Every structure is written in structure tokens, then in C-alpha cells.
């Protein structure tokens, strides 16, 4: 073993700090460092004479950190299907759902397609948000943000469309857009 490789173990604290800044877990950092030392000692012949042993070892450490995160991602995906859904509903559903205002369907057509799609699937068809996210190819967090923005846009558009009755609940509103007389004369 070359003296340069043997010198790597004397810089253990420096290398450990490097790894720990990237994984934020002391035990995982220790494991990564030990595995990197084993790899470096077994591949000592791969070190070129004109190459710095420290730079070479830092590359081994970086690759080990990347492998750590790849392994974590695979593990998370593998176990996700085995983990029971732990998300509790944020509300208790009413046994007799309220009639949704007809204006909602009109206003949905005026929203961006991504907003109207998530509102139809998640709020009207009551599909789980995680299921919508998976089908749309987006993260659950992205779907939650999109749903929040879509609901805010819907509220704003309903307020503009229906006026005062949209301020209360707009479940079965009596606004001018929903009345049979207005619908007949305005084409709604």
C-alpha cells in the first residue's frame, strides 16, 4: 500500500465532516466513510502516481454519498406500496352531500386546464390527491399546491360570477345565473 493511501486514515475527521455535511446523519456518514475507506484500500492500484490521493478519495466519497441517496430513493419507492395509507381525511364527509351550484361547472370552464382538471378529479369526483398526483406524473406536494391555487382561483371566479351568494357557500345558490328565468333569457 502506498504511503499516500495510508495517509488517508489520518484525515478521518476531515473526511467525516465532508460526508456529514451532505447526509446530515452522523451514523450514515460513519457508514459511508467506512465503506469508502474499504473501497479506496481495495482499489489502491487505480490511483495514478501523479494524482492526489486526497482528491481521488474525495471523488470516492462523493460517489458514495450519491449512491447513498440513490439507495434511499429506491428503498422509499419499494416500501411505499407496502406502507398503508396513513393520511387521515381532513374533514368528516356529510352523509348527504350538498347539491353543488351549477355555476361551479360554468366557472370551471373559465379556469386554466390544469386547475379545472384537479378540481374535477379531486373535489368533484373525490379522487385521492395522491392518486391524482401519480396519474398526472407530479409529486404529491405539487398536486397539493396546485389544488390550493385552483380552489383559490375558483373562489375568486365564483365571487366574480355569482356575486354575494358565492361569499357564503355557493352550494345551491340562487344567483341570477342559476335561476330558470335568467337561464332562459341569457342562454345559461
Q: Are 69 and 120 found together in one domain?
A: no
In a domain, 148, yes or no: yes
Cα-based distances in Å from 177 to 24, 50, 120, 153: 57, 80, 21, 19
Instruction: Please give the average per-residue pLDDT across 60-87, as a whole number.
Output: 79
Each residue of 112-134: pLDDT tens digit? 989 889 888 888 888 888 888 89
Mean pLDDT value across residues 54-65: 90
Asked if 73 and 118 sit in the same domain, the reply is no
Tell how far CA 89 is from the center of its chain: 19
Helix (H, G, I), strand (E, B) or coil at 50: coil
Q: Give the integer Cα–Cα distance in Å for 71 and 77.
A: 10
Is the same domain home to 113 and 37? no
Give the rounded distance of the alpha carbon of 153 from its chain centre.
22
| Counted domains in the chain | 2
67 Cβ contact partners less than 8 Å away, ≥ 6 residues apart: none
| Residue ranges making up the domain that contains 142 | 102-186
Q: Is 86 helix (H, G, I), strand (E, B) or coil?
A: coil
Based on the domain organization, do 76 and 133 belong to the same domain?
A: no
- At 62, the pLDDT band (50, 70, 90 cuts) reads very high
The tens digit of pLDDT for each residue in 23-58 reads 888 999 999 999 999 998 888 877 777 678 888 889
Please say which residue of 17, 50, 80 terminates a domain.
80
SS3 128: coil
Query: pTM for this one?
Result: 0.41
Amino acid at each position: 500500500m502506498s504511503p499516500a493511501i495510508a495517509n488517508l486514515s489520518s484525515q478521518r475527521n476531515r473526511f467525516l465532516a465532508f460526508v456529514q455535511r451532505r447526509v446530515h446523519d452522523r451514523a450514515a456518514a460513519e457508514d459511508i466513510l467506512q465503506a469508502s475507506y474499504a473501497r479506496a484500500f481495495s482499489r489502491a492500484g487505480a490511483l495514478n502516481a501523479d494524482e492526489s490521493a486526497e482528491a481521488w478519495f474525495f471523488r470516492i466519497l462523493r460517489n458514495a454519498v450519491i449512491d447513498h441517496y440513490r439507495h434511499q430513493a429506491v428503498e422509499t419507492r419499494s416500501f411505499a406500496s407496502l406502507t398503508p395509507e396513513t393520511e387521515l381525511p381532513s374533514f368528516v364527509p356529510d352523509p348527504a352531500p350538498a347539491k353543488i351550484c351549477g355555476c361551479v361547472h360554468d366557472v370551471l370552464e373559465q379556469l386554466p386546464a390544469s386547475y379545472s382538471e384537479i378540481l374535477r378529479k379531486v373535489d368533484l369526483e373525490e379522487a385521492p390527491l395522491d392518486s391524482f398526483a401519480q396519474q398526472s406524473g407530479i409529486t404529491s406536494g405539487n398536486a397539493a399546491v396546485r389544488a390550493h391555487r385552483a380552489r383559490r382561483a375558483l373562489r375568486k371566479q365564483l365571487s366574480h360570477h355569482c356575486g354575494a351568494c358565492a361569499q357564503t357557500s355557493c352550494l345551491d345558490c340562487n344567483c341570477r345565473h342559476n335561476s330558470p328565468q335568467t337561464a332562459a333569457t341569457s342562454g345559461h
